[in-house]
Amino acid sequence: MAEITSNTVLRARREEIELQTADGLTLVGELALPAGRDPKATLVTLHPLPTAGGFMDSHVLRKASNRLPELADLAVLRFNTRGTKSPRGTSDGAFGEGIEERFDVEAAMRFVAERGLPNPWLVGWSFGTELALKYGLEYPIRGAILLSPPLHRATPEEVATWQPASPTLVALIPELDDFLRPAEAAERFASVPRARIVAVEGGRHLWVGEKQVRRVLDEIVETVGTAETPLPTEVADERLATVPPAA
Of 17, 20, 42, the residue nearest 31 (C-alpha): 17
Residue 71: count of CB within 10 angstroms of its CB: 22
pLDDT tens digits, one per residue of 68-90: 999 999 999 999 999 999 999 99
Of 207, 99, 100, the residue nearest 149 (C-alpha): 207
Sign of the dihedral through C-alpha 57, 64, 44, 96:
negative
Q: What value does the mean pLDDT of the chain take? A: 97
Which DSSP symbol is given to 88?
T
CA dihedral 85, 90, 91, 96 (to 10 degrees): 40
pLDDT tens digits, one per residue of 12-40: 999 999 999 999 999 999 999 999 999 99
Helix axes 210-224, 59-72, angle to 10 degrees: 50
Confidence of residue 244 (pLDDT cuts 50, 70, 90): low
Give the Cα separation of 144 and 134 in Å (integer): 11
Give the Cα separation of 102 and 117 in Å (integer): 20
Of 125, 124, 100, 120, the residue nearest 110 (C-alpha): 120
| Contact assessment for residue 218 and residue 230, using Cβ atoms and an 8 Å cutoff | yes
Sign of the dihedral through C-alpha 149, 56, 82, 23:
negative
Give the residue-averaged pLDDT of 44-60.
98
Q: Residue 18 to residues 34, 98, 130, 167: CA-CA distances in angstroms?
A: 20, 20, 23, 27
- Cα 81 versus chain centre, distance: 13
- State residue 242's pLDDT score: 83
What is the end-to-end Cα distance of the chain in Å, rounded? Answer: 25
pLDDT tens digits, one per residue of 187-239: 999 999 999 999 999 999 999 999 999 999 999 999 999 999 999 999 999 99
- State residue 245's pLDDT score: 55
Which residues have a Cβ under 8 Å from the Cβ of 209 and sit 6 or more positions away?
none
DSSP-assigned beta bridge partners for residue 220:
none
- The one-letter amino acid code at 105 reads V
pLDDT tens digits, one per residue of 143-199: 999 999 999 999 999 999 999 999 999 999 999 999 999 999 999 999 999 999 999
| Contact assessment for residue 63 and residue 213, using Cβ atoms and an 8 Å cutoff | yes
Give the Cα separation of 212 and 72 in Å (integer): 18
Give the residue-averaged pLDDT of 98-107.
98
Q: Is the pLDDT of residue 246 over 60?
A: no
Q: Is the pLDDT of residue 243 over 70?
A: no
pLDDT tens digits, one per residue of 120-146: 999 999 999 999 999 999 999 999 999
Q: Residue 2 to residues 8, 107, 176, 233: CA-CA distances in angstroms?
A: 9, 37, 32, 9
